[in-house]
Amino acid sequence: MRSKKMTGGLEKAPHRSLLQAMGLTRREVDRPLIGVCNAFNEVIPGHVHLRQLTQAVKDGVRSAGGTPMEFPAIGVCDGLAMNHEGMKFSLPSREIIADSIEIMATAHPFDALVCVASCDKIIPGMLMAMLRLNIPALLVSGGPMLAGRFQKKGADLITVFEAVGRVKAGTLDQDGLAEMEACACPTCGSCAGMFTANTMNCLAEGMGLALPGNGTIPAVLAARTRLAKTAGEQVMELLQKDLKPRDIVTGKSARNAVALDMALGGSTNTVLHLPAVFREAGLTVDLALFDEISKKTPNLCKLSPSGHHHIEDLDAAGGIQAVLSELVRGGFADGGALTATGKTVAENLADLKVRVLDADVIRPLDKPYSAEGGIAILFGNIAPQGCVVKQAAVAPEMMQRTGTARPFDSEEEAVAAILGGKITKNDVVVIRYEGPRGGPGMREMLTPTSAIAGMGLGSDVALITDGRFSGGTRGAAIGHVSPEAASGGPIGLVRDGDKIRIDIPGRSLELLVDAAELDKRRAAWKPKTRPITSPFLRRYAERVSSAAQGAVLEG
């Protein structure tokens, strides 16, 4: 056992003494030691209940003959960090989480690992660590929040974000907003739509590093606790079989995860996270692969923000396994990929007798919401290295549009213009210097997109940025423009009044300015720099890669 580096032999008597100082018996010390990383905190709604689930994991480990050893992980709530300097720290926290788990599981050589969390960026950071360490490991999600109700309609966090724009537009008053605030997020759990947290929890199940049910069982159900307990037992089975994450995560798993992402209409943040996760397994998942799979994988689900369904509806319809069953049946996913159950995707589907229980929530292959996947990759003279849009959430009239550029050099400037009524129909809001290096930290910008939607401009105004968006964003919001402005990207050359042509079906994003004029602008232009007061963000900006490569740290 790996833990014998710490507990075995004469010279490890001091180590055993320290372990016994915590109340462990010698028998417990001699058993397999299982690290249980608990991202509980009292800041994130998706994490506030994780003590109970972590205890269930530990109960499962003990019942199967192991000794659980709990340790923490940090977590940023993207909703609470939104639209202020705190959001600069969200994406960088992914690397800190992965590094800290590696530190804990190497300094104290656990035999296996279970990671418990709910939210973005914690889930991808944990997956990165699991693959980097390559010891038997499982991910356990805290589960999704139930949807709220407001004025007899479904509501969630995005409803509240968009309500800010409604108040500015005069279609909702302050009393209505206060009522909405109190009911839109009714339980603990990761926010109720197919936003980034839930997308990543679903994809963890799809790539085989989490058990069936991980992505969709609501946080408040007893089934979620049973799943956590089963995970504790199952990690002991993985240890016995010496089945490691890199045995499970192969090229098949990577393609399955991207196909599932497209079928679900997942968050555009997956285009940052999946490359970073699979990179730890030595696999290349780039924009070309996303585009290839998107063009041939049907979009079978439209959950909030793309539609009116929520994760609880997907769970009731059969969950991720039901979506996988459709994809395998159509040849869009590989049923031979191995999973953390120790069985293949196809074997899991057979054992669970999986079937789709609601054909409106999970459309059949012959009646998809669209023939292409939920995410599209665009290229053009603004984004030579590519950019990303959640096409499943774009109004039909915005799929092809030529509009007038309204460039801003920060999120704050853009939000002030939008809420100030300075953005009108057929404008294309361009927000730059918000990329991984220029932000720094590549802030998630749900506030401007929600303001556009809330003010009734979602079918008339596009937004383009070298930053990124929340998984809750809807509309013609095109992000991850690469290279970013701070790295000399041509998005920095856009001027007020320029025309920009968006062609999502044609996978094109073009600044309608001739090459000679762009060369002239480039010769007279120097990318802007911002003073960075945080030592951590300064180091991050120096080392972070392009969004087109997953915004990973180099070197």
User: What is 29-66 written as a DSSP string?
Assistant: HHSPEEEEEE---SS-TTTTTHHHHHHHHHHHHHHTT-
Report the 3 state secondary structure along 439-498.
CCCCCECHHHHHHHHHCCCCCCCEEEECCECCCCCCCCEEEEEECCHHHCCHHHHCCCCC
The residue among 137, 90, 95, 133 whose CA lies nearest residue 113 is 137
Q: Report strand pairing: 137-141 vs 112-117.
A: parallel
Tell me which DSSP letter residue 362 carries: S
Residue 11 makes CB contacts below 8 A (sequence gap 6+) with none
The tens digit of pLDDT for each residue in 417-440 reads 999 999 999 999 999 999 999 999
User: Residues with Cβ < 8 Å from 271, sequence gap 6 or more?
Assistant: 287, 290, 375, 377, 388, 480, 547, 550
CA gap 496, 511 in Å, rounded: 12
Q: Give, rounded to a whole angstrom, the gap between the first and last alpha carbons of the chain.
A: 31
Q: Are 330 and 348 in contact (CB under 8 A)?
A: no
Q: Directed axis angle between helix 196-207 and helix 122-133, to 10°?
A: 30
Position 73 scores a pLDDT of: 98
User: Which pLDDT does position 168 carry in this prediction?
Assistant: 85
**Residue 24 contacts by C-beta under 8 Å, 6 or more apart in sequence?**
67
Beta carbons within 8 Å of 351's beta carbon, 6+ residues apart: 343
Contact 146, 189 (CB under 8 A): yes
- Secondary structure element (H or E) that encloses residue 378, with its range: strand 376-378
Tally of CA atoms within 13 A in the half-sphere of 496 that contains its CB: 6
pLDDT at residue 220 in the model: 98
Q: Which two tokens mark 436? A: 């991984």
Q: According to the model, what pLDDT value does residue 79 have? A: 92
How far apart CA 340 and CA 337 sit, in angstroms, is: 10
Going 165 to 169 to 174 to 180, the CA torsion angle's sign is: negative
Region of 9 please: left (phi>0), alpha (psi -120 to 50) or beta.
left
Instruction: Answer for the pair 403, 462: CB distance below 8 angstroms, yes or no.
Output: yes
Which residues of the chain, if any, have pLDDT below 50? none
Q: Positive or negative CA dihedral for 402, 408, 409, 412?
A: negative
For 409, the 3-state DSSP assignment is coil
For residue 169, the model assigns a pLDDT of 85
Could you give the residue numbers annotated as active site? 470
Are the C-beta atoms of residues 27 and 196 closer than 8 Å to each other?
A: no
- List the 112-117 sheet strands across, edge first: 67-72, 33-38, 112-117, 137-141
**Cβ–Cβ under 8 Å, residues 82 and 63:** no
Q: What is the spatial distance between Cα 369 and Cα 383, in angstroms, rounded to a whole number?
A: 28
Signed CA dihedral, 535, 39, 204, 132: sign only = positive
Q: Which residue, among 220, 227, 179, has the nearest Cα to 48 in the 3D structure?
A: 220
Bridge partner list, 137 = 113
Q: Which residue has the tokens 């999704």?
A: 144
Which helix (H) or strand (E) segment holds residue 117: the answer is strand 112-117
The angle formed by the CA atoms of residues 166, 169 and 174, to the nearest 5 degrees, is 55
Residue 335 token pair: 């049923």
Beta bridge partners, 309, equal 303
b/e map 343-365, b = 16+ CB within 10 Å: ebbbebbeebebebeeeebbbee
**pLDDT for the residue 409:** 97
Q: How many helices (H) and strands (E) does the chain have?
A: 22, 14
Nearest to 209 by CA among 261, 272, 263, 277: 277
Nearest CA among 449, 465, 471 for reference residue 410? 465
Here the tokens at position 504 are 């999502």
